[in-house]
Amino acid sequence: MGASNYIFSRDEFLDLIVYELYPRSFLDSNGDGIGDLNGIFEKLDYLQELGVNAVWLCPIYKSPNKDNGYDVADYREIAKEFGSFADFKRLRDGLHARGMKLIMDLVFNHTSSEHTWFQQAKTDRNNPYHDYYIWADTPPNDWKSCFGGSAWEYNEATKEYYLHSFAIEQPDLNWENPSVRKECQKIVDFWVQQGVDGFRCDVLDFISKDFKTGKMYAGPRLHEYIHELFGRRETEKLFTVGECQSSDKEMLLIAGKERKELSTVFQFDHINLIGLNKYLPHAFTLEEVKNVLVKWQNFTQENDLIYTLFTDNHDQPYFLSKTGYGDDYRYECATMLATMFYLLRGIPFLYQGQEYGAVNPVYSSIEDFRDVEAMRYYNEHKNTESSKQIVSALNQGGRDNARRPIAWTKNKANAHGFSQETPWIPLHSCAEEINLERDKNAEKSVWEFYRKLLALRKSSTVIRRGSFCDLTENRQGCFLYERALGEKKVIVICNFENRQTLLLPNALQQNTFRLILTNHADTLPFSKDFRPFEIAVYESL
């Protein structure tokens, strides 16, 4: 029991339905206000009932939590607040016993400044670990940290600067150093031996910098490094998904079938529609989202690549909020988005909270925020903007939006079922209205819809393995597509916000298709009239 069953084929990757889980905010089992591994263990049946078959755990390693675990102090130890190594094994076995895969987060661009490597490295230029990090006598460029401020930080003991692409407490590892690469390989192997089935690789394109052209990421040795890390005989079959900002050319290299680099990457074009300043109100349309999806469906299909289907993650405000569903259509919009994304060709990734239609909270005080990036934003703007302005920017674009605890119950007591104690971060401001229990019992339940949708995907080889074809043509305000495998077809119709009469696709014949899924109780088969965010999914007989 417990041994890895990680060897599954590339085709089988398309059978995955992954749930991204933010352990800190999932369920607190011991009343310290922090979600933990035993909390997750308690909810394994819940996850199975939802219909996912893999869980990606955001980092659970020992960490001072400057960046909630994305600053790792020991890659082989479980953070105390999350539990013990025995708890980890119990969770792993619980997942495997239910036929679910375990995907761990690997943070290899940087360590925590409290990692022993850095503790040693910073003491002396001659320390054997010094070269594990990136140093300069004076900053060689004006690179900015992704969280704001210079990416170079002075270190008194060696009279040098070190590079940190993220927080000051997250020094970048020097991948030019073969010892660093070896250490990372050993960490991968360690977790594979612990029965882990795959990895999500944090900001992986940052591991190679381009000092010549001054680009902080996707440097000249990126592919060599990834190939060396995962292209080995022991690891080439692993499921790996990289967080990389990838163009189509990059994706061919990094996720190409024969390349032995990654299984797939997260492609962010639809997320990037929000524009360069995420703190401003978003102005993108669903039409634009559709265009991005079609482009990538076609590209990944033509090139035999695996695409990832996601709307949300722990760094993003809820996509549902970004699309402006209005007050009346939260259920309809949530279920339409789920249909639009998760019946496409690729691997669905759900983020916790989506399954009950969670939306962004609205807070009025900086005290309600925790994220390192938010704190940085606050400090940089507090002299020029009112706290009201700052907080409203954070409500719009901050990362805490999706990091608030799951509201399990409708009763306010015990932080809506999340914890016996005060949670590490306040719950969603709207938890009384939007919570799992209420949603489950509602006539229009997002949760029930997700269950049906995921069950459909699980039961349909056409949806999992079939080809994609856009059928939208010149219809406006909607997305129509077909999935096909041999003679079998599935046709998906997603209407956007406006009520309208749609010309049904020619292929959709009454005598050869049947309606298999809608998000309204009273949708008439083959009806052309679509209400706001109404969907209809048909299957060939």
Q: Give catalytic residue positions.
A: 202, 243
Q: Could you tell me which stretch among 21-29, 148-156, 164-172, 366-374 binds Ca ion (CB under 5 A)?
A: 21-29
Q: How far is the CB of 463 from ligand GLC (least distance, A)?
A: 28
Site for ligand GLC in 222-251 (CB under 6 A): 243
Ranked by CB distance to ligand GLC, the top (closest) residue is 70
* End-to-end alpha carbon distance in the chain: 41
Site string for Ca ion, 32-51 (x = CB under 5 A): x-x-x---------------
Q: How far is the CB of 243 from ligand GLC (least distance, A)?
A: 6
Range 438-461 burial, b when 16+ CB lie within 10 A, else e? bbeeeebbbbbbbbbbbebbeebe
Kindly give the pairing relationship between strand 18-21 and strand 347-351.
Answer: parallel
DSSP letters of 79-98?
-GGG--HHHHHHHHHHHHHT
Tell me the C-alpha distance between 526 and 386, whole Å. Answer: 54
Q: How far is the CB of 107 from ligand GLC (least distance, A)?
A: 6
Total number of residues that touch ligand GLC (CB under 6 A)? 9
Please identify which residue in 15, 30, 183, 245 interacts with Ca ion, judged by CB under 5 A. 30
The identity of residue 382, as a single letter, is K
- 36 contacts which partner out of ligand GLC, Ca ion, none, CB within 5 to 8 A by kind? Ca ion
Residue 299, burial from CB neighbour count under 10 angstroms (0-12, 13-18, 19+): middle
Tell me the C-alpha distance between 454 and 353, whole Å. Answer: 15
Site for ligand GLC in 173-212 (CB under 6 A): 202-203
Site for ligand GLC in 344-403 (CB under 6 A): none
Pick 210 or 315: Cβ nearer ligand GLC: 315
Q: What sign does the dihedral 399-400-403-408 (CA atoms) show?
A: negative
Q: How far is the CB of 83 from Ca ion (least distance, A)?
A: 8
Q: What is the arrangement of strands in the sheet containing 467-470, beginning at the earlier edge strand?
A: 467-470, 478-485, 488-495, 535-540, 513-518
Pick 36 or 202: Cβ nearer Ca ion: 36
Tell me the C-alpha distance between 484 and 491, whole Å. Answer: 9
- 469 contacts which partner out of Ca ion, ligand GLC, none, CB within 5 to 8 A by kind? none
**Site membership for ligand GLC, residue 134 (CB under 6 A):** no
Structure-token pair, residue 120:
């040693």
Any residues with CB less than 8 A from the CB of 452 and at least 6 apart, and which?
517
| Residue 489 to residues 159, 294, 338, 505, 516, Cα–Cα distance (Å) | 66, 18, 19, 13, 12
- Residue 327 C-beta-side C-alpha neighbours within 13 Å: 1
Q: How far is the CB of 69 from ligand GLC (least distance, A)?
A: 9
Site string for ligand GLC, 302-341 (x = CB under 6 A): ------------xx--------------------------
Tell me the C-alpha distance between 295 and 273, whole Å. Answer: 14
- 30 contacts which partner out of ligand GLC, Ca ion, none, CB within 5 to 8 A by kind? Ca ion
Rounded (5°) CA angle 356-265-49: 30
Q: How far is the CB of 147 from ligand GLC (least distance, A)?
A: 8
Pick 1 or 413: Cβ nearer Ca ion: 413
Hey, how many other C-beta atoms are within 10 angstroms of the C-beta on 157? Answer: 11
DSSP letters of 283-332?
---HHHHHHHHHHHHHHHHHTT---EEES--TTS--HHHHTT-TTT-HHH
- Among 33, 22, 194, residue whose Cα is nearest residue 105: 22
Pick 403 or 410: Cβ nearer ligand GLC: 403
- 32 contacts which partner out of ligand GLC, Ca ion, none, CB within 5 to 8 A by kind? Ca ion
- Among 373, 317, 378, residue whose Cα is nearest residue 66: 373
Q: How far is the CB of 391 from ligand GLC (least distance, A)?
A: 21
Pick 271 or 494: Cβ nearer ligand GLC: 271
**Site membership for ligand GLC, residue 107 (CB under 6 A):** yes
CA max distance for the chain: 78
Pick 401 or 435: Cβ nearer ligand GLC: 401
Please identify which residue in 166, 341, 424, 530 interacts with ligand GLC, judged by CB under 6 A. 166
- 166 contacts which partner out of ligand GLC, Ca ion, none, CB within 5 to 8 A by kind? ligand GLC
Ranked by CB distance to Ca ion, the top (closest) residue is 36
Q: How far is the CB of 288 from ligand GLC (least distance, A)?
A: 23
**Site membership for ligand GLC, residue 70 (CB under 6 A):** yes
Pick 22 or 408: Cβ nearer ligand GLC: 22
Pick 132 or 217: Cβ nearer ligand GLC: 217
- 34 contacts which partner out of Ca ion, ligand GLC, none, CB within 5 to 8 A by kind? Ca ion
Structure-token pair, residue 105:
């987060």
Q: Which positions lie near Ca ion, rule CB under 5 A?
A: 28, 30, 32, 34, 36
Q: Which positions lie near ligand GLC, rule CB under 6 A?
A: 67, 70, 107, 166, 202-203, 243, 314-315
